[in-house]
Structure 1
């Protein structure tokens, strides 16, 4: 069982563009030290999120706020061509195991000096992921921000944790403060949080969890 709070990465996917810079700065001031940049191509997942240029622009506005780590979740049918645009900003790049060239993409990410992680869509079994990479279990259909948390993802995390308890395991999609105890019990160490963090009262709700 995981000890201590999970690492929380804030996703701005559903935040109004006019409010993104302000909300990001407020979350970092409130203790959030990971930012999760989604980018979807409209084919693998509903189009949305952030191009690398926009993410870098927003990250650059965090003037004087050191220690913030950035990660990206690339929801593209072929993410290989997207890697180079993200490695300058992001410590970790997440790609989907359902994409045909994920192994090549992982190798490219690592050659570029970033850490690779794999995402599993809700219908993809835990066994599709190798044991040596961090895994992000989707608890909503990729690209469907604002959907309800699928509790089957907790069982998937538990299965992955049993196979390798030392790697980082995450949940992404519909994550709320209320599911944190169950997420920790399942073995999750990494939570991607959007609406429940950036919506009304979110920073207060998550204040005891944020690093």
Structure 2
């Protein structure tokens, strides 16, 4: 079943806490973006200053050029899933480390990255994220043409979760679900809503309508 995963993208610990508090009352699973300021334009706070809320499944998206260098700090957060960028310098090594640590390994693919260029990393992944947003920012537009990558991923990995990040809203969620997406990483649509829980409920209702 498709799930809604509210996204946290923050540039200081105060903003991080605000975004966590905005969603932790209703979210069952969250997606936290961590940025190094190298792979991305913006940087998030040091990892050792962050936390994942108890009782909620926590996914961590490492937008790092060299994720292996911070993996010990990430492990301390006790995430359920860690997603590394396929374009990172040591992505395959990072996936191996995650598997050895008993943590689910995800791979994120930028819009311009072709699946055929990625070697065997897709086959190793528990989760593949199709990225249609702006690195390190909430919002962006959902380029639904990227849904073609769903079939390309499935040719290599029949069991991985398929996630989408970038521009999810009430107008396109149904098409994403129909296109094969099983995790909706919704940032601005929820975080910037007057009542975030209502925005979350809208996406949940769309999932229910599509899957009943």
**Category of TM-score, reference length = shorter chain:** 0.7 to 0.9
Runs (5+) with no aligned partner, structure 1: none
Between the aligned partners of 2:90 and 2:18, the Cα distance in structure 1 is 37
Give aligned pairs, total. Answer: 199
**Contact 1:139-1:152 within 8 A present in 2 as well:** no
- Say whether residues 1:28 and 2:17 are aligned partners: no
- 1:23 Cα deviation from its structure 2 partner: 4.7
Between the aligned partners of 2:115 and 2:175, the Cα distance in structure 1 is 18
69, 89, 94: which one aligns with 1:105: 94
**Which residue matches 1:83?**
71
- 1:25 Cα deviation from its structure 2 partner: 3.5
**Bigger RCO of structures 1 and 2 (CA < 8 A, at least 6 apart):** 1
111, 116, 120: which one aligns with 2:105: 116
Q: 1:165 to 1:174 in 2, by over 3 A?
A: same
**Which residue matches 2:165?**
172
Between the aligned partners of 1:177 and 1:50, the Cα distance in structure 2 is 31
> C-alpha deviations, 1:144-168, integer Å up to 9, x for none?
4322222232222243245544320
**Contact 2:9-2:137 within 8 A present in 1 as well:** no
**Which residue matches 1:53?**
48
- 1:178 Cα deviation from its structure 2 partner: 2.2
**Which residue matches 1:69?**
57
Between the aligned partners of 1:49 and 1:140, the Cα distance in structure 2 is 17
**Contact 1:45-1:142 within 8 A present in 2 as well:** yes
3-state SS of the aligned residue for 1:207? helix
**Contact 2:150-2:162 within 8 A present in 1 as well:** yes
Between the aligned partners of 2:167 and 2:144, the Cα distance in structure 1 is 10
> C-alpha deviations, 1:20-66, integer Å up to 9, x for none?
53553452322x1112111111221122334323331xx3xx5xx62
Q: 1:145 to 1:198 in 2, by over 3 A?
A: closer
**Contact 2:130-2:162 within 8 A present in 1 as well:** yes
* Aligned Cα root-mean-square deviation (Å): 2.5
Runs (5+) with no aligned partner, structure 2: 208-212
